[in-house]
Every structure is written in C-alpha cells, then in structure tokens.
Amino acid sequence: MDKFGMYLAFNESKKGKPLARNTAMQYYRQAKLWLLDQFPQHRAALEARLLKTGTMLDNFCLKRDGGGFISKALPCSKADLKKMLVDYQDAALICLLWYLFGRASDLALLPKPNISIDAGNVLFVRFIRMKTSEEQGSSLFPGTEFETCPMLAMALAMLMQTAPSTDVIDNLLDIQDQTAISLSGRPTTTGLGAQSAAGVEKMPTVYSQVNRALDRIAAAAGATAALTSHLFRRGGAQHANGSGELTARWIFDRGAWNMSTINKGFNYIFNSSKEDHTVSKIFSGHDTSTNAAIQDLRSFDLQTRSMISIFQRHLFSTCHNLQAAQHNVNQAVLDVLTSTVIRHYPLLKGLNAEAPSIKRILCY
C-alpha cells in the first residue's frame, strides 16, 4: 500500500497532469477497503497503519496543489445550462448532469426501468455512481422554466429515439465492466526506466464524448465558462448551496460525496426522501414549502385519455409495450412524460415551429 500511495501521488493522467487530490484519495480508499475485506483477520494490525498512510497522501496532495489551496474551475450556472439545451439527446444529458450532481459516467448506466414514481408521487431516478460503485436514487420535480425542465428534457430525448434502447440517453458510449480499482491513463512502465517515445493510443471515454459535445455547443450558445463534464456537478451543488433553506449535509447526500468515517452514521438519519425532495425543489425553481407535485393524465376525462393513449403509443413507440422489458418505460412514468410534452407543446412550438420534436408530434 505504501508503493500504491506513491504511485497515486506521482502518477500523471492522460493530459500529463497529476491525479486530482480527491481522485487519488478515492482510489486509495477503495484499495484499502478491498484489502481489509480480503484479510479481516489482520484488520486490527493494518487499519491504523493504512489510515496513517492515507493521511500522508492527503497532506502531500494538498501541498502539491499549492499550499493547501486547490484550483477549481468555474461552475456551470443555470443561465449557462439554459443556453445550451439545443440538441435533444445532449439536452437530456446536460440537464440530468446538473440536476443529479452527476459525472458523465453516472448517466451511462441509467436504464429506462430505473425511472419510477415514488410513494410521494415524485419522479424518482435510480442510477450507479461509477466512481464509488454506489447505487443512488434521486427525485426530480417539474421545472418552473420549460427550457431547463428535467422531465421535458427526458421526454424529448426518448420520443426522438429512432430504435429501441435500454438507456434513457442512447448516444453515450457503453461502459465496459471493470474492477472497482481501475486507473485511467496508468503508465505502462514503473517509471524507473527510460520512457518509450511512442505514445499510447487512448480509447475514447464517456468523459471525452461529453466534453466534445460541450465544446461543440457551448461557444455557439454563448456560454461564458469553459465547461467540462465535471462542472455540472459543481454548478448544481453551488446553486443548491445558494438557498438558505438547505443544509450542506443534504447537498452532500444528493451528490454522494464521501464523508469521513465519523460522519457515516449521519447518513442513516439525513439521507431520506424528504431532504432530497427539498433539494430537488430548489433546483427546479420552487420554494421548499411549495407543493410541486407532478402532473399525469388522470385529470383528463375518459374519452380524452383514450385519445391520448393512442397518441402516446405512437409518440413513445421505442419505449412502450415492447417485448423486451428492459426497453420499456414504466406506464406511470410514461403518463407523466406525455403530460409534460402536451403541457409544453405551445411553448416548444413558439420557440421553434420547425424543430424535429414538433414535426414528430404533429405527424400524429
């Protein structure tokens, strides 16, 4: 573990920069926990030593990054988010990254069956945090501005899919199965000998794909900050932290940031749906005391609902009533998405009457 700590401290990423402090510490924690699980009989002898090594690595990374201060890129504001929601698949991707404090890899494993309506009549999304191998669920509310409404973004992304897909966002690269401890851009040598002059060809990742999409649309949309996939996670957190009605603990829970061992006990108290609903309301532009319940098709009369059902089957033909269950969206979720499209149709048409989604809606 000492050698592994040294490797993390001096290893360079694909861009030739040292690993970020949080990334290095996350890799070290995963290795430490794996080691203690493999050899529980030696836990008493190893735990204190591994903790000390981890503290040394953390202190080294702090000093390396400039005397205890870590340079942080600008966060993505909600104004920047609003400007960039143009392409439907990219819009759903960017919107969910912001609302879920997501990394690009988190949304690569967001299958359609993992979207549901929870007991509080709130849209609920379950996904995997790839960096920590942790499953998490977050709630979503309809937005006060239709351009940044997460439900509308998901609905438009799915109705524009041309073929059945298991994923909500079907234009992301597949994440290959990998072990919990895998270092991106790891060197092929130990660093003791002469390095090869030939570069190593890198496989494209979901991060590079998202960053290319941002490079393509951010400048044209007029976004001022130089955005990367990680900045949506930071921007969403800062937006939530701007509300005086939220505590830092609730924001940490929604973003699945690692807390120290001392604070882990608090997760059982504060990581509840009530607090997550409060954070989600702030994201969507609502006051925390507002009843921001989602709207489905139950408010329509029977005859209208029958007509809407025919419209719904055509509109969401790639994720409704298919033989493969993994391609289907839950019927209750589909009713909410259909209601969202119907309610926002006049605004969408006023924004761009020639948009592909408007043409698809009108053809039915």
In this predicted structure, the answer to whether residue 69 has a pLDDT above a threshold of 70 is no
Residue 195: the pLDDT is 46
Which pair of tokens denotes residue 232? Answer: 């949506």
Which pair of tokens denotes residue 124? Answer: 């609920």
CA angle 292, 122, 232 (to 5 degrees): 85
Residue 237: the pLDDT is 59
329-338 exposure pattern, b = at least 16 Cβ within 10 A, e = fewer: beebbbbbbb
- Domain layout of the chain by residue ranges: 2-64, 78-167+208-362
Position 185 confidence tier, pLDDT thresholds 50, 70, 90: very low
Q: Residues 6 or more apart from 117 whose CB is under 8 A from it?
A: 123, 124, 294, 330, 332, 333, 336
Position 29 confidence tier, pLDDT thresholds 50, 70, 90: confident
If one compares 224 and 179, the residue with the highest pLDDT of the two is 224
Q: Does domain 78-167+208-362 have CATH number 3.30.70?
A: no
In this predicted structure, the answer to whether residue 86 has a pLDDT above a threshold of 70 is no
Q: What are the two backbone dihedrals, phi and then psi, of residue 91, each rounded to the nearest 5 degrees? A: -65, -45
Residue 196: the pLDDT is 44
Average pLDDT over residues 115-121: 77
In this predicted structure, the answer to whether residue 201 has a pLDDT above a threshold of 50 is no
CA trace torsion 246, 250, 255, 257 (10° rounding): 120
Residue 270: the pLDDT is 40
In whole angstroms, give the CA distance from residue 213 to residue 228.
10
Position 132 confidence tier, pLDDT thresholds 50, 70, 90: low
If one compares 180 and 144, the residue with the highest pLDDT of the two is 144
Residues 304-337 have pLDDT tens digits of 989 999 999 888 988 888 888 888 998 999 999 9
Average pLDDT over residues 257-275: 46
Average pLDDT, the chain: 71
What residues does 140 pair with on adjacent strands? 123
In this predicted structure, the answer to whether residue 264 has a pLDDT above a threshold of 60 is no
Position 40 confidence tier, pLDDT thresholds 50, 70, 90: confident
Position 286 confidence tier, pLDDT thresholds 50, 70, 90: confident
